[in-house]
Every structure is written in C-alpha cells, then in structure tokens.
Structure 1
Amino acid sequence: MTAAKKPAILDGVKVVDLTSVVFGPLATQMLGDLGADVIKVEGPEGDLLRQVQPSRSKLMGAAFLGTNRNKRSVVLDLKTQTGRDRLRKLLSDADVMISSIRPAALARLSLDPETLRHENPKLITVSATGFGQDGPYAAKPAFDDSVQSVSGLAGLATLRDPEAPPAYAPTILADKLGGVTAAYAVMAALFHRERTGEAQHVEVPMFETLASFLMVEHLDGATFEETPRDFGYARMLVPHRRPVQTADGYITILPYTNVQWARFFMAVGRDDMIDHIWVTDMDARSRNIGAVYDMVAQIALTRTTDDWLALMEQADIPAMPVNNLSDLPSDPHLAATGFFQQIDHPSEGAIWTTRPPIRFSATPARHDHRPAPGLGEHDEEIFGPGGE
C-alpha cells in the first residue's frame, strides 16, 4: 500500500462545523487534514471570511481558502425550523460538533450540548468561545485584537519600554492559537471517548488560552509572590533582544548555554570573555542579558550574514538569517520538504497552499484531498436532491 492510499488518522470521524472566520475553521481544517469528514455549516450569506480580499471570484477570498480545505459546505438557515431539522439530521450520527455561536444562542435554538447529547449520546460538543462561560466576560464578543489587548499581549511592548504604546502582534495570534488548542482538545475528547465510551462537552475560550500561553514564561517572579505582581520574563523583554545587523543584512545569533557562549567568544577572538562571569554563570548572564546582547550586536557588524552563518555552524551555535515572508518560497529547507504546494482548485484555478507541518509515518496528513468548498457546494451531495 502506498503512502497516498493509507487511511488518515481520523478517517471515519464526522465533524459538523458551525464556526466562522479563523478560530474554529483553522481547528476543523486541521481535523480535516487528519482525515475527518468535516461538514461546514454556513448561513445563507456564508462565512464572513469568504469576503476578505484578495480573491479571484466572489466569496472565495485567500484567507478563506487557507482555512477551509478538506471540508464540505452546506447552507442552513438556523433561524428556520427546516434549517434546524437538517442540522439535527447531520448531528444524528456525527462524532463532533464544534460551534462558535454563543452558547446562549444555541440554547435558544435547542442546540445546547445536553439536548444534542440526549439525541446522540456519542456526540462530542465543542464551544469555541471568546471567554470562559463561568466569568463576567462570558457574553462579550471577542475578536483577535480585543483578546490581544485584554490578555496582556498588546501590553508586552509597554512592559519592555514604559514609553512605548501598546501594540498588536502583526498576526492573528489569538485566533490561530485558539484553533490549534481546539484541535488538540477535540483529539483528546475523541481519545477519551474511545477509551471510556463517554462523550463530553469541551469549552475552548480564546482569552484564557492566550493568557495561559503568555504565562508560560511571563508569570516569572510572580510565581512565588503572595500577591502576584512581578510579571515579565526579563530575557524576552530587554530591548536588545532582536535580530542583529550584520555587514550586509540581519541575522539571529543565539548562544544559550554557558558552553555555547564560551564557543561564541572563542570564535570571534574574544578570549578575554571566556572566563567572564556573564559566560560562566547563567544567573549573572540573565541579570545582565541586555549588555550581553548589546555586545553581540556590536560584534555582528564585523561580518556578512553568510560569513556569520558559516562561522556559527562551525562553532555549533544556533544562528539563522532573518527572512521576509516573500523569502520563504525559496528557503532551501522549505523547498526540500515540499512545504509550499500548488494545487488546482475547481473554481479558483492554480492556487498555492502549504502542507500540514506534522508527519505521521503510518497515517499521513493531507493537504490536497479536498480544496476549500464553494458556498453550499455539497448541499445535494449531503442532503440529496430534495434536501432530505
């Protein structure tokens, strides 16, 4: 059996997707990449992300194409009884329902987890929410920028420099992190059901997910305080922590251990630093990391980027050039791994996509099984000619 014909790990798992934009759709795309049959339920107007430009044709924007492969699309108006009845038909033998509709709205439609699991005891229900439903923000709308703000992410710029204004990360980090978290939560719930036979409800709140993500290192000194106040991992916040300029570009040079720092200074002819406390004592280095990074920045100007890459490889010290996004298609590693793939979309023609980053030896993920669907493209395939 060839790798292309091997079943994917989630073959036979049916996922009904009531999410839109990026948070939920990225999660369900990941499940589709792993072989799940993902049925994307859209209202008559379609997922809002369909309208985001650029696009070649109406309701098929690039961001939509990038978060909705390996899915089938049906149109259901859940404000109507017919729409709700058809959804219940989809859910009657589904394994997972994931929704970004607010839980209170689902309850008004009798689509709450308890009701649905009464009708299908094996159904895992997943709520992709902005905020946990046991807190005062439960009913608030949530978007990536607002969650970056309230989670403390936007304020990290101010934590680094009190004179700097807050700033968003130039990527939809809250949505995408939420999507990855929701995907692994679904996998965990499926595993639990496989072991015990028990389905359950899963809540993935974007705010708490991003806050937890940030606290991995930035809880820092507050970990040990009676009243947490000393937040912020100093190494991440010093202004000197940035790519350094070389004679002809920019590079990241990253000695980390005592041995690596000693090798770095040996490689650049600074033998006077080999026994310095900043090299031999990690705690001392951490407390003076801004000055250490500043030394690296000054030394970096003396060589070209290519010279640095060769020297650091010889010294076995982590170093990488600074790429722009437009450099990635020609990156030799990504080229060798086939990261960028051009596929033929039935309505959009030749489009670029990326392969799933994870590799399974026995159950390969897939990126080109089913391109992102047109709005309602699979209505007849799923419901039949009469919609029944």
Structure 2
Amino acid sequence: MSGPLSGIRVLDLTSVIMGPYASQQLADLGADVIKVEPPGGDVMRQAGPMRNPGMGHFYLTTNRNKRSIVLDLKKPSGRDALLHMAASSDVLLYNIRPQAMARLGLGYEDLKKVSPKIVYAGAYGFSQRGPYAAKPAYDDLIQGMCGIPWLTGQATGETPRYAPMVLVDRVVGLQLCNAITAALFYRERSGIGQRIDVPMFEGMLSIVLGEHLAGHLYRPSTGPSGYQRSLARDRRPYETSDGHICVLVYNDKHWCSFFDAIGKSEVFAQDVRFSSQGKRLEHIDHVYGFLGEIFRTRSTGEWLALLEHADIPAARMYSIDDILADPHLAETGYIQQVTHPSEGEMLDVSIPTEWSHSVPEKRHHAPKLGENTVELLREFGYSDEDIRALLSEAAVQQ
C-alpha cells in the first residue's frame, strides 16, 4: 500500500464523472476504493471511443486504482452485502438523490447503525435545504444556472455556450474529495463520523461568484456584476503573424518592460490608460485592443524570444496534439504509455502531486465490470458457498 490515505477503505457507489473523479483522487492518494456498480455498470463505460464494450475512454480516465464489484442493491441480499462491507469501511460515497438512498434502506441513519464512524458523503445537484433539492442535475444544467454560458456571451459578444469540457463535475469533484479528506481528519482527532452533502450548484457558484459579484458584492451595489478583465472582449490568445500566443502583461513592471522591448517606452509615462493597475482595468478594452494590434506584427517565435528576454509571462497556444509532444511533460514523465490488461496500449496521465514521503502510486488499472466481485466478497469474509448463492440470486455479478 502507498500514499497518505493508505488503509482507508471507500465504498464508491457513484457513476458518471463527478463522483468517480473524486474517488479517483482518493484512490490515487492511496485509499482502497471499491467501485460498487449496478448490474449495467457505470454509464460512462459506454461513452466512446472504446476498443471493447464497457470500457469507454471517459471511464478509463476516471477509474484507475479502483476495484469493481457488481451489487444489485434492489435485492435484499445485495443491500445486505453492501451493509456488511460498510461495517468495516471508512467512507461511503454516492451521487443519487438522498431520497433514493433512503428508499433503498441505505440512508445515513441506516449506515450509522452498522458503522457509527463512517463518513457518508453525498454528491448531487442542489443543497437539500432548498426548493431545488429533488431536481436532477447535469454539468450543462449547472453551468447554465451558474451563469457560465451567459458570461461567455458577455465576453465574446457571441451566442452563449458551455465551457468545452465537463467543468462543473470536475471542479465540484475536487471539492468533494477535499470534504471527505477533511472529514477523515476530523474523525481521526475526534472519533466521530458524519454525513457530508456536496451540492454542484452551490459548489460551482463559490467559484463563479468569487470572481463575478464585483460591484454587487457591496450593499447597496457600487456597480455592475462581472470582473472587467475576465469579460474583456479581447482577452484571448493574441494572433501573431504566423499563429497565436498567450501573454500576460500584468503589473507595472511588466508594462514598463513591454514598452521598452517594443521601443515605445514613452507610452507608459504619457498615456494615463496604462499608468496603473486601476487605470488599465478601467480601460481594459483599449488595453487588450492595443496588444492585439501589436502582436500581429511579429511571429510567435519572435515574440517568445523578446518576451522571455523582457521577463514577461508568455507561452505558445497548444492544441491537444501539442500537449502530447510537449518536452517538459516528456521530461517529467507526466503522460505515460501503459499496458491495460484488456485494452492494450494506452496513454495514462500521472498523479499530478509530488511527495517526499507517502508517495502515491498507480496500483490498479481501471477494472472491467465486476472484475473483483469474488475477490472482494472473500476479503469481506464470505465463503465460496455464500458467494455462489449470491451469484445464483443475481444479487452480485462477476
């Protein structure tokens, strides 16, 4: 066993992205994560591209370091098996609505009876204290309710659109992982387990409103909502004579160095719109427009050399193919080619944190559906006769 969470056992009932992404973080940190799947498996197993049925690329990238058991929780013996496993587990993680867990006889009070110290973590759309409690939620819906498409429309002047990635699930998934590890730390000191609710809507709003309340932060309001710099129409990679470049000319030192580098040092001294952080924010459209015109005059390579010499933050704009060819990532071994037992050769993204002790490791490949059912039941004390009975009832599958 390896990693700082070595010895922690997690029963992971989640599917899709948010829950599995959170539990993969726990698994990467050393927790023994048992992926409890229904007979049909996690729905993301079917999200292609894939080489083999039930092993879609989304599933493979969010379920390493876990073991899979198939339990039919609607069958009494399947539910009993889960409760038996929970008695010696530290965390139960789920992402169906609490009402559905209660109907299955798997609510917090049910779990407390078999494991008083368990951390019972629920991840779903909305706080259970408001009128949206029972509403279904998906990444696109929560992005919309948190104003992300509206903000993109404000920033670009174009039709609102979602972020081109499953953003909310992953951001709130990290919040979920953080909450679970904090609850485990609290239990370590106090001996007390607890229930945790991590709602997507409120979790993502903590990110969006922290940036975009702006003048609405104050009562009465001192101005409009929206952080001006983030919403500036020209805040985007700059077009060069042969491509694009990402540049952040940000503080006074950067601006002095930038004007010196392009031979226009008098502008910083004479043009009040560039004279301070506050003035640049006040005239942000002019500032970005000015930079947009300047960067078109040279190639990306020329700009990178000039900006590096001037100590101004700059980088090439990458495509996914560029990322895969990046020399820094090659040197650190961040993206590796591995051999999956059923899927063959594939790329794997490394654990991004680095540790001097309790080093996390990749211990398991993303498992096939029910790959570890029999192994896990034996670990939890079931005899071969008990296992055959559960299999014959279809309460479990392998």
Structure 2 length normalisation: TM-score?
0.93
Q: 1:334 aligns with which of 320, 329, 335?
A: 329
Distance 1:251 1:215 in 2: 29
Once residues 92 and 272 of structure 1 are traced to their aligned partners in structure 2, the CA distance between those partners, rounded to angstroms, is 72
| Residue matched to 1:54 | 49
Could you report, residue by residue, the CA deviation over 1:327-379 in whole angstroms, capped at 9, with x for unpaired residues?
1111121111111011111111111110011111112222x310000000011
Q: How big is the shift at 1:197? A: 1.1
Residue 177 of structure 1 and its aligned partner are, at CA, apart by 0.8
Partner Cα distance (2:366, 2:222) in 1: 46
Q: Structure 1 residue 381 and structure 2 residue 353: aligned?
A: no
Cα distance change on mapping 1:267 and 1:167 into 2, 3 Å: same
Gap runs ≥5 in structure 2: 379-383, 391-398
Report the secondary structure of 1:174's partner residue.
helix
Q: Which residue of 1 aligns with 2:344?
A: 349
Equivalences for 1:40-189 in 2 at 5 Å? 40-160=35-155, 164-189=158-183
SS in 2 for 1:274: helix
CA 1:379–1:228: 2 relative to 1, 3 Å: farther
- Cα separation, 2, equivalents of 1:77 and 1:210: 32
* Regions of 4+ moved over 6 Å: none
Aligned equivalents of 1:133 and 1:320: distance in 2? 44
Give the equivalent residue in structure 2 for 1:39: 34
Structure 2 residue identity aligned to 1:237: L
1:193 maps to 2:187: yes
Whole-angstrom CA distance in 1 between matches of 2:2 and 2:51: 33
Question: CA contact under 8 A between 1:340 and 1:352: conserved in structure 2?
Answer: yes
2:296 to 281, 294, 301: 301
Secondary structure of the structure 1 residue equivalent to 2:149: coil
Task: Give the share of equivalent positions with the same residue, in percent.
Answer: 44
Are the aligned partners of 1:17 and 1:40 in contact in 2 as well (CA < 8 Å)?
A: yes
| Aligned equivalents of 2:2, 2:36: Cα separation in 1 | 25
- Distance in 1 between residues matched to 2:360 and 2:268, nearest whole Å: 47
Structure 2 Cα separation of the partners of residues 195 and 321 of structure 1: 47
Distance in 1 (CA, whole Å) between partners of 2:327 and 2:177 is: 30
Contact 2:215 2:221 in 1 (8 A): no
Question: Cα deviations across residues 206-243 of structure 1 (Å, max 9, x unaligned)?
Answer: 11111111112111111113369721001000101111
* Matched-pair contact (CA < 8 Å) for 1:178–1:209: yes
The amino acid of 1:147's aligned partner reads I
Give the RMSD, CA atoms, in angstroms: 1.4
User: Which residue of structure 1 lines up, in the alignment, with residue 205 of structure 2?
Assistant: 211
- 3-state SS of paired residue (2:148): coil
In structure 2, C-alpha distance between the alignment counterparts of 1:273 and 1:252, rounded to whole Å: 22
3-state DSSP class of the match of 1:75? strand
Matches of 2:357 and 2:142, distance apart in 1: 38
Shift of 1:40: 0.3
